[in-house]
Every structure is written in C-alpha cells, then in structure tokens.
A and B are shown apart, each in its own frame.
Chain A
Amino acid sequence: MGINVSVVDQPAGYLHWGFILISWPNLLVIGIMVVFFALALILPFPGHGSSAEKEKKA
C-alpha cells in the first residue's frame, strides 16, 4: 500500500487546558462545524434576494 497509514494508526494527541480535555481531531471537527455554521449564515443563497425585498413583495 502506497499510503503510510501508521500516522493515523496511533492514539490522538490531546488538548488539556484547565478542566477542558479534548482530542485534537475532535476539536478540529467542532471547529470545522462552527466555520460551516458561520458560512451558512453569511453566504447568500442562490436565487434569493434579501429578505427585506421579498417581504415587501409579499
């Protein structure tokens, strides 16, 4: 196999900050989810104008 799997075939590192103890992979996933959520709020949805415009038309 060309890919070196030994990198992921070992225990993950942990962030230990006060009472917070979380593995780096878990923290990374949560970080990506927060970014996704923020992008969903910010990015315009295709084919839709602003909500104020739509409400005026309704």
Chain B
Amino acid sequence: MKDHAGDESAGSWTAATRRQLERRLPWENLLPDRQPFWVGSWVYVFGVITIAALVWVVLSGVVLAAFGPQWWHLSSVGRFFNSLHFWSVQLFFVFMVLHLWGQYFMASWREGRAPTWMIGVVTFAVSIVAAFTGYLSQQNFAAQYIAINAKDAVNSTGAGGFFNVLNFGQMYGLHVMLLPIAVTLLVVLHIVQVRMKGVVRPIGHEVKPAVPLDLRKK
C-alpha cells in the first residue's frame, strides 16, 4: 500500500475512491482463482445457477422487446423466445429460493455479512415486482385478468396512486427498463459484497479470536 501523505491527489474524490477500492476490493478478491474447501458443495452452486438464469432472462427479454407482442404471440420463433423468457424466470426464482434456503440455514449474515444478506433480500423483493409487471406485460387475456384482479389489492396498500396495474405503458416501462436495471445492479452489488467479505465459513468453523474471549474481559 502506497503512502499518500503529502500526495497532490489527497483531496481528490476519484483518488480517494480508487484507494478505497484498492484496499477493500483488490483484484485477487474480485476475480479469485481459488476458493476455501467448504465451497466444494452443491449448495454453493444454487447462487451461480440463479445468475445464469438471470443472464438468459435478460437476453431473451432484449429479443422480445426488440420484436414486440405480435411477434412473440404469433410466430413460432417468437413463441420460442417467449417460452425461453418465461422458463428462465421460473428457474431464476426456483434457484434464488434454493440459494436463500442454503444461506438461511448456514446463517450467512455472520462475521460482517449483514449487508450481503440484506442486498439479497432487496433483490428478491424487486425481482417479485419485476416478475409481476412481466405477467402484466404479456399482452394477452391472462395479463388483463391479472391486472383487473390485482388492482384492488394494490389500491388497498395505497400504492395505486403511483403504481397503476391497469396502465400498460407504465407496467411495460417498469418491466423492460427500470426493474431489470435495478435487479442487475443489486445482483452485481451482492456479488461484489461476497467477493469483499469472502464466502462464509460453515457453522462451527468460525475464525477463533487471537485472544480468548474470557481473557479479553480483564
């Protein structure tokens, strides 16, 4: 670590950000080539499959947005991409929940990982809204049925004033632009947090303090 005392860049926010990143997120942590032995379990694969599913969701969604509802309802290739989008979302949620179960039962918020856990919780919540607006954006009878049935529930929460499920333009805009960007950014933040803190140790294998706790009290 370089000593920056007396450095001309000492007051610069870009230099301060760079130093902070160098300290908290070195390249060895961001792109590691080795993992601790406890990562050798299928439970740790659930998160990676969730990310893989998200990649397919975004790619198939870009194609659907480019060609439009008539294409995805009436052409065979369009139906294929429609199904690809739908089923990759199903996999995204299935593996996100499996990932959640795995991390919950190993209490992955331990040893300073609460932000990682909370970003995961927010990602889950935003993903549900993204999926909901997707069901409303299908441009078929099911979408109308869901919107009509959901409007009273949404209104009862008080959110109906700025989140109108009957407004297709609003739902579609949220679904293809704002919510995918939010989910992607949150997932990136989540992964960066995991890289900064490392993968949590299994319960019973926590790092022992250098000084025993009973001696610290004296």
Chain A interface residues (CB < 8 Å from chain B): 29, 33, 36-37, 39-41, 43, 45, 47-48, 51, 54-55, 58
User: A58 vs B94: C-alpha distance in the bound complex, in angstroms?
Assistant: 35
A37 pairs with B102, CB closer than 8 A: yes
User: A43 vs B94: C-alpha distance in the bound complex, in angstroms?
Assistant: 19
B42 pairs with A39, CB closer than 8 A: yes
A48 pairs with B42, CB closer than 8 A: no
A33: B residues at CB distance < 8 A: 94, 97-98
Does B62 reach chain A (CB closer than 8 Å)? no
Residue of A36, A48, A54 near B98 (CB, 8 A) is: A36
Does B101 reach chain A (CB closer than 8 Å)? yes
User: A47 vs B41: C-alpha distance in the bound complex, in angstroms?
Assistant: 10
B40 pairs with A40, CB closer than 8 A: no
- Identify which of residues 122-177 in chain B touch chain A, using a CB-to-CB cut-off of 8 Å: none
User: A45 vs B37: C-alpha distance in the bound complex, in angstroms?
Assistant: 11
Q: How far is the CB of B41 from chain A (nearest CB, A)?
A: 5
A48: B residues at CB distance < 8 A: 37, 40-41
Residue of B nearest to A32 (CB): B94
Known: A48-B37, A51-B37. A40 touches B45 (CB 8 A): yes
A45 pairs with B102, CB closer than 8 A: no
Q: How far is the CB of A45 from chain B (nearest CB, A)?
A: 4
Residue of A29, A40, A51, A58 near B43 (CB, 8 A) is: A40
Does B87 reach chain A (CB closer than 8 Å)? no
A47: B residues at CB distance < 8 A: 40
User: A39 vs B38: C-alpha distance in the bound complex, in angstroms?
Assistant: 17
Q: How far is the CB of B136 from chain A (nearest CB, A)?
A: 20
Chain B 28-40 near chain A by CB (<8 Å), digits 1 or 0: 0000000001101
B94: A residues at CB distance < 8 A: 29, 33, 36
User: A55 vs B42: C-alpha distance in the bound complex, in angstroms?
Assistant: 19
A51: B residues at CB distance < 8 A: 37-38, 202
User: A2 vs B45: C-alpha distance in the bound complex, in angstroms?
Assistant: 37
Q: How far is the CB of B201 from chain A (nearest CB, A)?
A: 11
Residue of A37, A43, A45, A58 near B101 (CB, 8 A) is: A37
User: A43 vs B101: C-alpha distance in the bound complex, in angstroms?
Assistant: 17
Does B46 reach chain A (CB closer than 8 Å)? yes
- Identify which of residues 73-115 in chain B touch chain A, using a CB-to-CB cut-off of 8 Å: 94, 97-98, 101-102
Rank and list the top 8 A-B pairs by shortest CB-CB distance, nearest first.
Answer: A48-B40, A54-B37, A40-B42, A45-B40, A40-B43, A45-B41, A37-B98, A37-B101
A-B contact pairs, 8 of them (CB 8 A): A29-B94, A33-B98, A40-B41, A40-B42, A40-B45, A45-B42, A47-B40, A54-B40
